[in-house]
Structure 1
Amino acid sequence: MGRVFRLGFVLSLLLVLLDGCRASFVGVCYGRNADDLPVPDKAAELVKLHNIKYVRIYDSNVQVLKAFANTGIELMIGVPNSDLLSFSQFQSNADNWLKNNILPYYPATKITYITVGAEVTESPGNVSALVVPAMKNVLTALRKAGLQKKIKVSSTHSLGVLSRSFPPSAGAFNSSHAFFLKPLLEFLAENGSPFMINIYPYYAYRDSASNISLDYALFESSSEVIDPNTGLLYTNMFDAQIDALYYALMALNFKTIKVMVTETGWPSKGSPKETAATPDNAQTYNTNLIRHVINNTGTPAKTGEEVDVYIFSLFNENRKPGLESERNWGLFYPDQTSVYNLDFTGRGTVDVATGSNSTSSNGTNTWCIASNKTSEIDLQSALDWACGSGNVDCTAIQPSQPCYEPDNLASHASYAFNSYYQQNGASEIACSFGGAGIRVDRDPSYDSCLYMTAGSNKTIASNTTAISSKSLSTRIIFPAWFSTFFVATFVSVLLEVNHV
């Protein structure tokens, strides 16, 4: 009995660790404010074809819920602002909605989040006060069905919910929303739900191009913006805006609430004055965004913290009012052809006209090596990731192999960093490693240890320690100590069982 208990304990601990080490994911928003869109069944097939595992919709449309049944794709569904009044007034309205619109399709349709209201501080009419009562009623309905732990309840917000976002450490909520935000944040903290934010660096650049560089908005900046209060370095606006929200949460003593980005992206077409709205810029932003997210580097203020992100949007939506860009955020046209190529695994190389290339300013190749300013703990963590979930073949830095000597952490990390860098387009973001990598224009190769270059024909061998699947849904990043701990514990249990 004791042996069974101990073996069960080890397996249970493994499951806990796997859950706690979940990698960040990238999903897509599926809006339907357009003519001639494919039927939901076709849209679901398109999503599966491109290995997208997470989808956000803005209502609980029955046809959409049916289309995603038995696909394994996780859905975030919404309660529109127009329903907030009825949901907040009577518990029976939330109960009936769940009974008629959700339960008949669950769990075949894998619903994991319900958003109650969307950007209410930006919507006409005073509906903010209705959000938390409606959220509480939806949660109560879920409790009655026993689903309160499987489906999280939250609400989405625009960055306008902040009164200050720069520098990030000065991030603060708009005081005019205090009456609504305090009970909202208490609800999120109590129920372990994320704060959902829609972040659009495009708008910040478009409206203030004289103060913000395009490269900074596109994850392509070679310079750094320094937060004068913390000394933290920011190479992209996306991270700065997320950290501004984290600091705003911390200022109100809500330190446990995680942030989820429920909309972000870049338009591929705009009005004559929207010169940055191009297919190349849209491809650059979303490609770099995906790589940044799945690298699990987090943000400067929240290093290693997972940030789940939904790209807006699946299709161009021609019914949307406003400037031309409003109708051109889609990854696909209504006929399901791509607006531009995008690799959702973040592993492939995508040709981007305006993006970084694999050569330095003098026309030579560039390499990625370990920064001498990085601590050994961070360097070891980055090396473990590169040789594990990063799918780098690290055979060359094993004992008796050509790059094992010198046997030190910096040398081994440099080889692994460069291999990942070259495999992933030699872009700036592919050499980030949470700040542990730097790009150089001098070949680090020595003796028989040859560093890969962008033009190399070297075959990338499968690393036996790497996770084989590259899909966003199955990537799991383990702490550096995990494999040693688990193997040692599991072996000790097996030895004890065999001994008896």
Structure 2
Amino acid sequence: MVRGFRLIFATSLLLMLLGICNGSKIGICYGRNADDLPTPDKAVELIKNQNINSVRIYDSNIQVLKAFANTGIDLMIGIPNSDLLPFSQFQSNADTWLKNNILPYYPATKITYITVGAEVTEAPNNVSAMVVPAMTNVYTALRKAGLHRKIKVSTTHSLGVLSRSYPPSAGAFNSKHAGFLKPLLEFLAEKQSPFLVNTYPYYAYQDSSNNVSLDYALFESSSEIIDPNTGLLYTNMFDAQIDSIYFALTGLNFKTIKITVTETGWPSKGSPKETAATPENAQTYNTNLIRHVINNTGTPAKPGEAVDVYVFSLFNENRKPGLESERNWGLYYPDQTSVYNVDFTGRGSVDVNTGGNFTSGNGNGNGNGSFWCVASSNASEKELRDGLDWACGSGNVDCSPIQPSQPCFQPDSLVSHASYAFNTYYQQNGATDIACSFGGTGVKTNKNPSYDSCLYMTAGGKKTAASNVTANATSWGQKGYSVPSPYYYYCLLVILFVLTKLSDV
């Protein structure tokens, strides 16, 4: 009897640890409040080519759900505020919606979350009282279908749900929302659903640039801000905002509720007064954000704890009202050209071009057609080998110049050879962002990588010599490996310990 109990306990612990050690995930918000957007099928291809595995949409559009079928991408879908009344009034409305809008497409479309309402405390009409009844009815409909453990139900919040956020340890919910928050948090704790929040360091900087430095908002600060109550050190605004939510939850004795960031990002363009809304700052923020999240560093108050984050957003949305920045949060224009480059693997480096539109479909991102695609020096040997083999095989690249005794063989390194092959494929296939993907190991650059007699192809199939550029054989010769975070090794050690105990049972 005792032996059986130990086996069950150890197995349960192992499964729990395997779930925890999956780490943080980076996703993207796919809004469609714009003209001339690509079809959902094309948008999904764009998402797949960026190696994005989690997506948030704001409704349950059938064409979008179909487009995500059999992709393996986790999908968060939304029920808008305008539908809260019928969902909250009658269980039959939630049942019918699930039957017609979800069940026909699940599990081919991998729906993992349903958000019921969005930022209701900011809504002009008072709809917050409808949220928990609507969530309860949606959860009950899922339970009837046997999906309540596979699809989580929650609702999203703005940071305005707090009355205090600084210092983080003083984080507290606004008391005027108490009647809404108490049953909501009880629901989340009981159903083990996360607290969903939209956090924007951009607005914290824009609204209080005298107190918040731009570097602190962009993850670039070299100094630390100390929370006087806890002594915790903060080097970026994002962590401080997340921890203010943690402390607010703890203050109400909801310590077990996890946090997921359903929107964060930085605009690439704004009104004359929005001087921080630039492509350079947007690229810096999102690049540093992604690296911060996938390293599983957690926050000062919750070190090593996974926090899933969704970047806002996939496309610029020209129909959104408000300031100019509201229409310029996207990574892509509606024609699928990049506003700026972001590597969702968090490994590669990106070049900052001050010209605004960093890339275009024909590679003329800086106005003279001089963009190249090279291999990331931080990619693993296997990733580079797979990309090189594919380019020289199925990609139909002439790889003879990187063979022994040929002009591009030296330096004899995997990164150098892959760079030549990646660039040739990129130029032969329209010099598009997709053509420089290679599973996240391709990186666009406006610096000519040609050297000596090794000439890299440019747009139009021409090969040009470097202009005052020499190959950095030292850095390219290094084998780049993705280094797991210390949290990963900690999890691995604990799992090995549990496996050892299992073998003793």
- TM above 0.5, yes or no, is yes
Distance, in Å, in 2 between the alignment partners of 1:6 and 1:256 is 25
Provide Cα deviations, 1:237-275, integer angstroms capped at 9, x if missing partner: 000010001100000000000111000000000011111
Three-state SS of the structure 2 residue aligned to 1:215 is helix
Distance, in Å, in 1 between the alignment partners of 2:307 and 2:473 is 30
Distance, in Å, in 2 between the alignment partners of 1:60 and 1:454 is 51
Alpha-carbon shift at residue 32 of structure 1 (Å) = 0.2
Aligned positions of 1:334-345 closer than 5 A? 334-345=334-345
Question: Does the aligned pair in 1 maintain the 2:17–2:491 contact within 8 Å?
Answer: no
Alpha-carbon shift at residue 349 of structure 1 (Å) = 1.2
Question: Does the aligned pair in 1 maintain the 2:217–2:238 contact within 8 Å?
Answer: yes
Instruction: Name the structure 2 match of 1:445.
Output: none
Distance, in Å, in 1 between the alignment partners of 2:208 and 2:106 is 45
Instruction: Name the structure 1 match of 2:497.
Output: 485
Cα 1:154–1:7 change in 2 (3 A) is closer
Instruction: Name the structure 1 match of 2:302.
Output: 302
Cα 1:158–1:114 change in 2 (3 A) is same
Indicate whether 1:258 and 2:261 are aligned: no
Question: What letter is aligned with 1:119?
Answer: E
Question: Does the aligned pair in 2 maintain the 1:189–1:254 contact within 8 Å?
Answer: yes
Distance, in Å, in 2 between the alignment partners of 1:173 and 1:53 is 32
Three-state SS of the structure 2 residue aligned to 1:153 is strand
Question: Does the aligned pair in 2 maintain the 1:315–1:329 contact within 8 Å?
Answer: yes
Instruction: Name the structure 2 match of 1:192.
Output: 192
Instruction: Name the structure 2 match of 1:103.
Output: 103
Provide Cα deviations, 1:175-232, integer angstroms capped at 9, x if missing partner: 1100100000000000000000000000110111111100000000001111111111
Distance, in Å, in 2 between the alignment partners of 1:455 and 1:299 is 35
Question: Does the aligned pair in 2 maintain the 1:139–1:148 contact within 8 Å?
Answer: yes
Question: Does the aligned pair in 1 maintain the 2:264–2:311 contact within 8 Å?
Answer: yes
Provide Cα deviations, 1:146-171, integer angstroms capped at 9, x if missing partner: 00000000000000000000000000
Distance, in Å, in 2 between the alignment partners of 1:35 and 1:240 is 36
Provide Cα deviations, 1:95-148, integer angstroms capped at 9, x if missing partner: 000000000000000000000000001111110000000000000000000000
Instruction: Name the structure 1 match of 2:469.
Output: none
Distance, in Å, in 1 between the alignment partners of 2:219 and 2:474 is 24
Question: What letter is aligned with 1:33?
Answer: N
Alpha-carbon shift at residue 300 of structure 1 (Å) = 0.4
Distance, in Å, in 1 between the alignment partners of 2:260 and 2:56 is 12
Alpha-carbon shift at residue 9 of structure 1 (Å) = 9.4
Indicate whether 1:175 and 2:194 are aligned: no
Alpha-carbon shift at residue 234 of structure 1 (Å) = 0.4
Question: Does the aligned pair in 2 maintain the 1:28–1:54 contact within 8 Å?
Answer: yes
Question: What letter is aligned with 1:296?
Answer: N
Instruction: Name the structure 2 match of 1:332.
Output: 332
Alpha-carbon RMSD: 3.1
TM-score for both structures, normalised by structure 2: 0.72
Alpha-carbon shift at residue 459 of structure 1 (Å) = 2.2
Higher mean alpha-carbon deviation, 14-23 vs 295-304, is at: 14-23
Distance, in Å, in 1 between the alignment partners of 2:379 and 2:21 is 15
Instruction: Name the structure 2 match of 1:26.
Output: 26
TM-score for both structures, normalised by structure 1: 0.73
Question: Does the aligned pair in 1 maintain the 2:25–2:308 contact within 8 Å?
Answer: yes
Question: Does the aligned pair in 2 maintain the 1:21–1:478 contact within 8 Å?
Answer: no
Question: What letter is aligned with 2:302?
Answer: K
Question: Does the aligned pair in 2 maintain the 1:18–1:476 contact within 8 Å?
Answer: no
Three-state SS of the structure 1 residue aligned to 2:188 is helix
Question: Does the aligned pair in 2 maintain the 1:28–1:55 contact within 8 Å?
Answer: yes
Distance, in Å, in 2 between the alignment partners of 1:455 and 1:243 is 41
Instruction: Name the structure 2 match of 1:79.
Output: 79
Distance, in Å, in 1 between the alignment partners of 2:179 and 2:13 is 42
Provide Cα deviations, 1:56-84, integer angstroms capped at 9, x if missing partner: 00000000000000000010000000000
Instruction: Name the structure 2 match of 1:459.
Output: 478
Instruction: Name the structure 2 match of 1:162.
Output: 162
Distance, in Å, in 2 between the alignment partners of 1:16 and 1:309 is 21
Question: What letter is aligned with 1:209?
Answer: S
Distance, in Å, in 1 between the alignment partners of 2:337 and 2:197 is 29
| Runs of 5+ unmatched residues, structure 2 | 355-377, 383-440, 444-471
Aligned positions of 1:264-275 closer than 5 A? 264-275=264-275
Three-state SS of the structure 2 residue aligned to 1:302 is coil
Question: What letter is aligned with 1:105?
Answer: Y
Cα 1:484–1:476 change in 2 (3 A) is closer
Three-state SS of the structure 2 residue aligned to 1:130 is helix
> Size of the alignment, in residue pairs?
392
- Identity, % of aligned pairs? 76
Cα 1:146–1:215 change in 2 (3 A) is same
Alpha-carbon shift at residue 18 of structure 1 (Å) = 1.6
Aligned positions of 1:417-496 closer than 5 A? 456-460=475-479, 479=491, 481-482=493-494, 484-485=496-497, 488=500
| Runs of 5+ unmatched residues, structure 1 | 355-388, 394-422, 426-452
Provide Cα deviations, 1:296-337, integer angstroms capped at 9, x if missing partner: 010000111111000000000000011110000001110111
Three-state SS of the structure 2 residue aligned to 1:298 is coil
Provide Cα deviations, 1:473-496, integer angstroms capped at 9, x if missing partner: xx9665252364367568x58xx9
Alpha-carbon shift at residue 21 of structure 1 (Å) = 1.3
Alpha-carbon shift at residue 462 of structure 1 (Å) = 5.7
Provide Cα deviations, 1:272-296, integer angstroms capped at 9, x if missing partner: 1111000000000000000000010
Higher mean alpha-carbon deviation, 101-110 vs 5-14, is at: 5-14
Instruction: Name the structure 2 match of 1:205.
Output: 205
Question: What letter is aligned with 1:60?
Answer: S
Distance, in Å, in 1 between the alignment partners of 2:159 and 2:258 is 15
Distance, in Å, in 1 between the alignment partners of 2:258 and 2:110 is 22
Question: Does the aligned pair in 2 maintain the 1:29–1:314 contact within 8 Å?
Answer: yes
Question: Does the aligned pair in 1 maintain the 2:380–2:480 contact within 8 Å?
Answer: no
Question: What letter is aligned with 1:61?
Answer: N
Alpha-carbon shift at residue 456 of structure 1 (Å) = 3.5
Instruction: Name the structure 1 match of 2:242.
Output: 242
Provide Cα deviations, 1:356-378, integer angstroms capped at 9, x if missing partner: xxxxxxxxxxxxxxxxxxxxxxx
Provide Cα deviations, 1:340-363, integer angstroms capped at 9, x if missing partner: 010000011122479xxxxxxxxx
Question: Does the aligned pair in 1 maintain the 2:379–2:481 contact within 8 Å?
Answer: no
